[in-house]
Amino acid sequence: MAVDTAAKTSAGGPHGAAELPSVVVTSYNLEIRDEDGFVGDKAKRGAFMDHLDALRGHLRRNGDDPLDVETETLGKKELDALLSEGSPREAALILSAIERYAQSLAFVIRRFVRLKAWNAVERIVMGGGFSQSRVGELAIARAGIILHTDGHDIDLVSIRHHPDEAGLVGSAHLAPKWIFAAYDSLVAVDIGGSNIRAGIVELRQDKAPDLAKARVKESELWRHADEEPSRDEAIKRLGKMLNAQIKQAEKEGLRVAPFIGVGCPGLIEPDGSIDRGAQNLPGNWESSRFNLVDSIREMVPEIGGHETSVIMHNDAVIQGLSEMPYMQDVEHWAVLTIGTGLGNASYQNRAKPKRKPADQKGKEKEKEKEKAG
């Protein structure tokens, strides 16, 4: 089921809100289906590996597969190494998989832009770990070229922050304005199907009032998928991580706001409950008797002597929000996060876009070409 927040007059509460301080979230967690299932699955990270494995299957039948390892053992570093340092045949195999995946990604984006919430999108931020590899960068760039040659005037850009940090930095754009006058940092949580990360986001407004220089000062990562804890055990571990991060930040002299921003998979209800989409988390997080926001408040009732405020939103929404300072020259934009699934969100800036002159855009493109060359 698609969640098109543009169709709602109000989000009805602070969590999963459509109207944020700088943007309107016009949609998120869209679930488009076709005869094969969820359309987004055609562009998840596993889809690239499926394309590579299919190509290898064709080559194996003739004894021509240039690789001697199982496809599933190849990580980002190994794939990048095959592309840049492998034999011509090995590199060509990776390039062939990139082409197939790029065609799939372009297909998925074409389906998204048919929807009302995405129809006006001018730029798509590509997040998730896959976007940080050279293979991912080339696949995204190739998909962008395919879309442009098809007449779709949409730019695809890789996310600037590392995706692990983007999922924390984006929380700064959930925060109410009073935080920025009195504090220099805030607490953020990014919950995923494999990991939970908690950290301190340093706002650094003295360097950039628009939060373009905000960064993760400290963070802790727990890979819960390796331990298979119960939901209650996972929440208890999260509480310890949060309190340890706050204690360390205060020890270092940071003025930590009494605020926690939380990114979580799924559809977020106004009261902080999770309607659906959290099936990869440990235990049942969608239970009517469980509320993540309330649990966090119980574990961290105060920060710096003030009552803790918690705001939660979808994790793809928050990862996209980390790009807010760089999206001011467009009005409508979106994010796709390539991971175990394909996270998605679309936005409309509340302020009118500050368009760059055509000659400035040309100069920037020339600089990009020089760097690439």
Q: Which two tokens stand for residue 244?
A: 């340890």
Mean pLDDT in residue range 173-197: 92
Answer whether residue 293 is part of any domain.
yes
How many separate domains does the chain show? Answer: 1
Give me the domain span that covers residue 177.
163-320
Cα–Cα dist 117/332, whole Å: 9
Which positions ≥6 away from 299 have C-beta within 8 Å?
Answer: 235, 236, 238, 239, 242, 243
Any idea what the CATH number is for the domain that residue 316 is in? 3.30.420.40
Answer whether residue 242 is part of any domain.
yes
Answer whether residue 181 is part of any domain.
yes
Among 345, 340, 336, 259, CA closest to 303: 259
Transcribe 296-314 into DSSP letters. Answer: HHHH--EETTEEPEEEEEE
Confidence of residue 62 (pLDDT cuts 50, 70, 90): confident
Cα–Cα dist 367/92, whole Å: 28
Answer whether residue 256 is part of any domain.
yes
Torsion over CA: 291, 180, 20, 132 (sign) = negative
Answer whether residue 66 is part of any domain.
no
Cα–Cα dist 60/168, whole Å: 43
Can you name the residues that pair with 191 across neighbouring β-strands?
196
- Summarize pLDDT for 73-130 with one digit per residue, the tens: 999 999 999 999 999 999 999 999 999 999 999 999 999 999 999 999 999 999 988 8
Q: How many CB atoms lie within 10 A of CB 174?
A: 25
Answer whether residue 175 is part of any domain.
yes
pTM of structure:
0.87
Answer whether residue 78 is part of any domain.
no
- Summarize pLDDT for 317-349 with one digit per residue, the tens: 999 999 999 999 999 999 999 988 899 999 999
Answer whether residue 178 is part of any domain.
yes
- Summarize pLDDT for 217-233 with one digit per residue, the tens: 999 999 998 888 999 99
Tell me whether residue 35 is exposed, middle or buried, using C-beta atoms within 10 angstroms of its C-beta: 0 to 12, 13 to 18, 19 or more: exposed
Q: Please say if the pLDDT value at position 360 is more than 90.
A: no
- Summarize pLDDT for 8-25 with one digit per residue, the tens: 333 335 899 999 989 999
Identity at 156, one-letter amino acid code:
L
Mean of pLDDT over the chain: 90
